[in-house]
A and B are shown apart, each in its own frame.
Chain A
């Protein structure tokens, strides 16, 4: 054995060749744990490693990676699609899927070689796991302790609804809710953080209470005539309805006049699951960067300690290099910036800044340059940033040069594209800002808000899309979604696309409900 890690070899290799059994997995996990907790200072949920086959992996793919999920045709569609692609050899499967829960569940594929299992355990069971447990966005928005229980409840509840109200009724409702799922998220913290474990209990209590206080006589009480509207009433009404409201599903659940209680509960389920996944979309680069950096450190360390043979190390490096490969923009393989490449690059860059800073780094990052303890800095970064703020803060000139990043502006009013900034002294700040913006959820998802509703009059719901940079909604899809929205609301819906710069209306879409979701009340 040669000694290219430079360290002292102590242990016998954990395994040789490609085969593994449960003992191997246990040994590998323990060896990794020693490094991850002892040397890197990671803080993780207890691990649960589950070994699955191809079909189960496809299963997990189709239900957004969750182990148990309610039933809906769209999951069947995704399964069929992935299966066809996989069978045709057009698509490989991931080596693992990891779930943000406590205990942290990692699914690993039975086909993986022993090296891949080691890599996957380091990556998912420690890298992602640490990130889930410590990042503030996850802490704020997700409840790792309760998610599995909640999914169980959701599946049971929806199955119960299907029994009681028919599969078609539930399917229609879920279709509409799924279409609005991207706009069923609170982007800013509310007073109270969600506690999923008590949600189920509360749902039951709410229903019980409603059943207890139900009195058919109230319906017959004559109501006062329509009061004269004035300015203050209108304002109070908006405040009561918490308008403007960007969480469309939340608004419908609380306010839509004709939904039945079980329908509100289903909307709530879809909304809560959307909220659970919301942090993942905000931290894609950091999450992958963290996991990739962690597995890279751990694998190297295992090799240094003699726990990984040279051959297995080469296998790992080959796979690792594929993962962090970033094709250039003019490369046919280019399909956007690879979050693994960018994330891993930035983590390595921070490590470099901490240990071997240049004068430029001293200038740009006086706080961390030369601090000598990269893990402390990284742990802090992983805990307190999301992609947008992370880019804004830590994208160094060196990284911009390494990636040769440049910024192109595409204005549909101009005949040509212009290069706004490149990787030079004048461009660093601009590129930093522009890249950060690309990872800001507010810029990637259209900003749609419920702005007004006339509850006393014709009950028409008015939404605004603030068309940033005059980019309008894709019309066909917008019409479909608006139709679903109208079906849930039960009355007319109007969507105005507004130019935020001038407040002028660029375009309007309207929809009238079709019925189908809402049955006539019948008294």
Chain B
């Protein structure tokens, strides 16, 4: 008989089958992922999770008999009251006293549930999306490396000597090889000194002196610190984050922005954040809110603190410009900006905004997305043509000139994801086409 321990075999043997299955059921899984992402809260939008597929989608058919009709025999255990010739009313729904046979493989028509890992989930969630102009600064960034601690080594420069580790090794070696301790030697010397050189004590003394010589020789042979004990701290180079990105969230928080609009904006920012995180090792987020004046704030204030005032968009762009100058040099950062607004702007500010955007912001940005959020229940009487907002008109002019910029309108939560996909869908032609 052989006993084989298979527990240490490489796991993930089924990965190839799983990938084939995922590919097969891709359209179904994608649909399920989108549906389940709608019901998730923003925080765990990118977590692993279970999705349910309709069983029919990945059905494996086989010839088998219908579960009703014709003449069938049932053999059942546990007869209690029936005698031959009894009649039993036909049970409804197939199961029950008539005997439920179940489908051949025990598989019902239930949904097929299975768990997706976080990566698989996000992959499907953001499938076919790509960042425009992603490659811009990759070359610069991949050159730099940083040094990280990586355990100990037996060679190295004296500056990196790991003293503690070295002494610990030395101590254990000395104990193991029984190197005499200085205190023991001293005790032996004292004892010798206390004995007189002749008589019976003389013999004892000679004995002890021999022992002392032996021990001293041993001490000499076994060094206190041997080259074997020496350890150095080891460092290894690691490439710095291949690329880092900063994401500017600009939002109009003036009185005309309702909670609903802010919610829409927030959803959009969350998607953008997940998306950037997948592409860059390091993503910073900067929140800038503005009324008639702009200010960099933390996330909580950004979304929740109420504010009143007019609307001057250029202030936000100025603030963004300031932050970029201060902390995010376009040479080492990929800069993305997403602006959400209801479209209002002080009429006199439009020209300034346009100038700022074209001259200073867009040249340093990888991508600039403008999201115009509207009311959920915005209805216009038939025949009434809705006028484009000030900001929309201003921005469309810039957009048309082929800048790395896109703009969309969103009125309901369900539109956020499609709009997001639309913005970042893989494109072969130029970005920044406008739709209304």
Contacts and interface: CB of A to CB of B under 8 A. Distances in A.
Contact of B1 (A47, A79, A178): A47
A412 B73 CA distance: 11
Contacts of B80: 328, 330, 404
Interface stretch (A202-210, A433-441, A510-518): A433-441
Contacts of A407: 73-75
Nearest to A424: B84
Interface string B334-357: 000000000000000000000000
Contacts of B102: 335-336
A218 interface: no
A481 B61 contact: yes
Interface in B1-38: 1-7, 9, 11, 13-14, 16-25
A50 B6 CA distance: 6
Contacts of A73: 17, 20-21, 23-25, 58
B5 A51 contact: yes
A71 interface: yes
B77 A481 contact: no
Interface stretch (B64-72, B147-155, B244-252): B64-72
Given A26-B1, A469-B72, A475-B66, A419 B7 contact: no
A480 B7 CA distance: 40
Interface string A425-445: 011000100110110000001
B24 A51 contact: no
Nearest to B60: A74
Interface in A456-514: 465, 467, 469-478, 480-481, 484
B98 interface: yes
B88 interface: yes
Given A74-B60, A434-B73, A471 B20 contact: no
A336 B68 contact: no
B86 to A, nearest CB: 4
B61 A480 contact: yes
Nearest to A470: B70
Given A406-B79, A409-B71, A53 B65 contact: no
Interface stretch (B109-117, B166-174, B287-295): B109-117
Interface string B200-231: 00000000000000000000000000000000
A481 B85 contact: no
A80 interface: yes
A55 B221 CA distance: 56
A55 B13 CA distance: 9
Contact of A480 (B17, B59, B87): B59
Contacts of A79: 14, 17-18
B99 to A, nearest CB: 6
Interface in B75-123: 75-80, 82-90, 97-102, 112-115
A448 interface: yes
A251 to B, nearest CB: 14
A403 interface: yes
B376 interface: no
A419 B75 CA distance: 10
Contacts of A56: 6-7, 9, 11, 13
The interface centre, meaning the residue of B17, B72, B82, B85 with most chain A CB atoms within 10 A of its CB, is: B17
A437 B101 contact: no
B320 to A, nearest CB: 46
Given A33-B1, A55-B11, A472-B69, 11 more contacts: A46-B1, A52-B6, A53-B6, A53-B7, A72-B20, A73-B17, A76-B18, A76-B22, A180-B63, A410-B74, A465-B63
Interface of A: 22, 25-26, 29-30, 33, 46-53, 55-56, 58-59, 62, 71-77, 79-81, 83-84, 87, 103, 107, 110, 167, 171, 175, 178-183, 326-331, 334-337, 403-413, 415-424, 426-427, 431, 434-435, 437-438, 445-446, 448, 465, 467, 469-478, 480-481, 484
18 contacts: A58-B14, A71-B16, A73-B23, A77-B21, A77-B112, A84-B50, A179-B61, A182-B63, A328-B78, A337-B75, A337-B77, A407-B73, A410-B98, A417-B89, A418-B87, A421-B84, A469-B70, A475-B66
Which 6 interchain pairs have the tightest Cβ spacing?
Answer: A328-B78, A76-B21, A76-B17, A471-B70, A480-B61, A329-B76
